[in-house]
């Protein structure tokens, strides 16, 4: 089951709607300055004031709950609200840093459309939801892997489902911890381990498990710029061929577990397989941020933190590239 924030918001909305309550769904449409949440972030508010998700650091949520309790959004067509537009507004809701948010607000009283979104997410499928601010209509569409969030003042398109993929070689305790964290970060997680003793004991809901040869799986998986590959088996016989294949793909992150001494030996083996210097430079090893971690839980946090950093740096590079060519 998908444990991402989007899933939590949509699941809460569906549960409340199916209980007979109406909800207010809010989506971050645009941000300026130091706004803490990105476009596409979600929040849903029950008519009694309960809410799931966030669109800022806290004070905006409080104000939106109060406005919902006052009935300001009740039975209104989808529209835009802004926070931090001027000094008085910023001071009132706690945005002294100069951040600015533009939100799309929807009043929803029927569950079936969001139930379809939730079912698609639970099936690890991508689906997009389009809101037309001119007509107030919403519609659902199949979403390709390249589709992303869009807002052009008239239409908001939010893509649901795993936008990122993570392939992990090796199925030990560390992998279990990393997989659980990755699911919360909206990764579709696949575990590869041909060792029977590991395959029979794997139990992490929401992940896929395969006993294919790692190198064959890499070829089938075809890692792209939305994919990361981690070698966590600490077993060269499983990992070297997979890393050899992965380092020739467009995966945005490739990492391998082990000490610096192990990493040096690994580089030597991969050089003998024919990888060049630029390809080997892409390998993160020892994998994860250096935060002094020792336990599987701490190492998993270090690894996922490094994934977050690499993913955000990639997004920033893409954003700068689009700005330069826009």
- Distance between CA atoms of 288 and 260, rounded to whole angstroms? 12
Exposed, middle or buried by CB within 10 Å (0-12, 13-18, 19+), for 158?
buried
For 116-202, list the strands marked E by DSSP: 127-132, 138-142, 150-151, 155-160, 164-169, 187-192
With beta carbons less than 8 A apart as the criterion, state whether 283 and 210 touch.
no
Exposed, middle or buried by CB within 10 Å (0-12, 13-18, 19+), for 152?
exposed
Cis peptide before 286 (omega within 30 of 0): yes
DSSP strand pairing (51-53 vs 42-46): antiparallel
- pLDDT score at 302: 97
Up-side HSE of residue 79: CA atoms within 13 Å toward CB? 9
pLDDT by 10-residue block (mean), the chain, 326 residues: 70 97 97 81 96 86 94 94 68 60 96 95 87 95 86 95 87 94 88 83 87 89 89 89 93 94 94 94 94 94 96 65 45
- pLDDT score at 236: 87
For the chain, list the strands marked E by DSSP: 23-32, 42-46, 51-53, 79-83, 100-108, 127-132, 138-142, 150-151, 155-160, 164-169, 187-192, 208-210, 227-231, 253-256, 283-284
Pick the CATH number of 164-305 from 1.20.1050.10, 3.90.1150.10, 3.90.1300.10, 3.40.50.720: 3.40.50.720
With beta carbons less than 8 A apart as the criterion, state whether 24 and 132 touch.
no
Q: Cα–chain-centroid distance for residue 35?
A: 18
- pLDDT score at 308: 94
Every domain of the chain and the residues it spans? 5-160, 164-305
- pLDDT score at 185: 85
- Distance between CA atoms of 200 and 78, rounded to whole angstroms? 49
């Amino acid at each position: 089951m998908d444990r991402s924030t989007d899933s939590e918001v949509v699941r809460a909305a569906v549960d409340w709607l199916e209980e007979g309550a109406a909800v207010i769904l809010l989506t971050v449409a645009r941000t300026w300055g130091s706004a803490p949440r990105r476009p596409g972030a979600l929040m849903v508010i029950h008519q009694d004031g309960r809410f799931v998700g966030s669109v800022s650091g806290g004070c905006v949520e409080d104000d939106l709950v109060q406005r919902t309790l006052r009935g300001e959004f009740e039975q209104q067509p989808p529209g835009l609200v802004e926070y931090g537009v001027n000094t008085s507004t910023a001071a009132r809701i706690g945005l002294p840093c100069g951040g600015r948010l533009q939100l799309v607000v929807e009043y929803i009283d029927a569950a079936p459309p969001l139930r379809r979104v939730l079912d698609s997410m639970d099936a690890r499928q991508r689906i997009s939801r389009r809101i037309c601010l001119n007509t107030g209509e919403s519609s659902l569409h199949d979403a390709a892997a390249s589709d992303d969030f869009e807002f052009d003042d008239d239409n908001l398109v939010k893509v649901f489902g795993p936008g990122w993929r993570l392939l992990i070689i090796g199925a030990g305790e560390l992998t279990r911890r990393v997989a659980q964290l990755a699911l919360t970060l909206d990764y579709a997680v696949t575990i590869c381990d041909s060792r029977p003793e590991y395959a029979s004991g794997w139990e992490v809901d929401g992940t896929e498990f395969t006993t294919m040869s790692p190198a064959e799986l890499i070829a089938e998986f075809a890692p792209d710029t939305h994919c990361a590959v981690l070698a966590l088996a600490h077993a060269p016989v499983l990992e070297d061929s997979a890393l050899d294949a992965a380092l020739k793909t467009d995966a945005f992150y490739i990492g391998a577990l082990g000490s610096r001494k192990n990493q040096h030996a690994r580089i030597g083996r991969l050089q003998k397989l024919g990888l060049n210097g630029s390809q080997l430079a892409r390998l993160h090893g020892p994998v994860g941020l250096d935060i002094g971690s020792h336990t599987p839980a701490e190492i998993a946090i270090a690894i996922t933190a490094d994934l977050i950093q690499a993913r955000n740096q990639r997004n920033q590079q893409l954003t700068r590239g689009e700005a330069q060519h826009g």
